[in-house]
Copies of this chain bind each other. A is one copy, B any other.
Amino acid sequence: MAPVKVADELCTLSLPAALLGERWTLLLLRQAFLGTRRFEDFQTEMDISRSVLTERLGTLVEEGILRREAYKDVRTRYEYRLTEKGLELYPVLMALRKWGDRWMSPAEGPSFDVHHRTCGGDIGVHVSCEGCGAELTARDVRVTPLRDSRA
């Protein structure tokens, strides 16, 4: 396997990585998937500073991962909800959690569990070949540089 130099601005892994690799962003998304929607709730549930929270919510909205939506309580308030684009990050979060369960689980066990809503089954994340259906590991995959490779 020869090392491959890729142009980061064209790499569909480094682009999302730059986004999610910012501090707090992954935790914020976890909370969003757990159902948190309001500024105040994010703030108290995550112990994040308000200024950083404002900034992170802002970039996620700019990126189209969250949508800022007015709603009426007693007067107009705002909610941050996952968009379709945001909801599709679910496999990333689940893959991360699966790995965390396996390799970083604290002695007391994880703090929450997830199951299939209708049948109660365990949840799995699988990398597989769309052609032959085989389950794949890193070693079963061939990487083909398309442009800008200078080994």
Interface residues, chain A, with chain B CB atoms under 8 Å away: 1-17, 20-27, 30-31, 33-37, 41, 44-45, 64, 82, 85, 87-106, 108-132, 134, 136-149
Contacts and interface: CB of A to CB of B under 8 A. Distances in A.
A109 to B, nearest CB: 7
B129 A34 contact: no
Given A3-B34, A11-B112, A143-B114, A99 B95 contact: no
A80 to B, nearest CB: 12
Q: Is the interface of A mostly helix, strand, loop or mixed?
A: mixed
B145 A131 contact: no
B35 A105 contact: no
Contacts of A92: 92, 95-96, 99
